[in-house]
Amino acid sequence: MRGPVLVEFGASWCPHCQSLNAELPAVLEQYPAVKHLWIEDGKGMRLGRSFAVKLWPNLVFMHDGNVLQQLARPPLDAVKAAFEAMPR
């Protein structure tokens, strides 16, 4: 995908994912150019393994198909900093 993209790996039952998902929409509103893809991950899911996902939520910040940062189970301030660091 061209431009800024956030790929979020998680599981709907994961309490850490649920906690982040309560706060992430407000942050995403501040960055309307960022495409957000939420991927339900789990055992045997190859896409998550290709990104070496071991903890959820796992956020992959990308631009023009290149990984800029990958955060596993991040605090909200780290998520905000990663958004700020993305090219626009």
Spans of all domains in the chain: 4-85
The DSSP-derived string for 23-74 is: HHHHHHHT-TTSEEEEEE--TT-HHHHHTT--SSSEEEEEETTEEEEEEES-
Question: Which CATH superfamily does the domain covering 4-85 fall into?
Answer: Glutaredoxin (3.40.30.10)
What pTM does this model have? 0.95
Residuewise pLDDT in 10s, the chain (88 residues)? 999 999 999 999 999 999 999 999 999 999 999 999 999 999 888 999 999 999 999 999 999 999 999 999 999 999 999 999 999 7
pLDDT value of position 54? 94
